[in-house]
Amino acid sequence: MILTTSSGEFPIPPQVASRLPTVLSPPDPSEPNHRRRLAEFQEWLDASPQHTIDFERLRRWHLVQEDLAAKAKKAGRRFVVSDDGLE
């Protein structure tokens, strides 16, 4: 698995990947069937409170990793994906 951030792409270590919640990806607005896919995504979110919780956990984790990657890049340090933000 690869984490894509504005600072680059980074491999996600297996021990981190195993902790990430499994969620549907929101549809890309440029995709031809965007409205239908958006409705399907919303239905998936609404199907279970756990779906929304998992989506928010993953979103928060990505924001934290994005910030950590940017700080590492600015400081000239190597960035390693972690589970920071999954709490």
pLDDT digits (tens, 9 = 90+) for 32-85: 999 999 999 999 999 999 999 999 999 999 999 999 999 999 999 999 999 999
Give the number of domains in the chain: 1
Q: Is 84 in contact with 48 (CB distance < 8 Å)? A: no
What tokens does 63 get? 């924001």
30 pLDDT band (50/70/90 cuts)?
very high
Asked if residue 57 belongs to a domain, the reply is yes
Query: According to the model, what pLDDT value does residue 41 have?
Result: 95
| pTM score, whole prediction | 0.87
**Residue 32 placed within a domain:** no
Neighbours of 47 (CB within 10 A): 10
Choose among 29, 28, 12: nearest CA to 20. Answer: 12
More confident residue, 31 or 67: 67
Residue 39 lies in a domain: no
Distance CA(5)–CA(65), nearest Å, equals 8
Determine, yes or no, domain membership for 26: no
Residue 69 lies in domain: 1-20+48-82
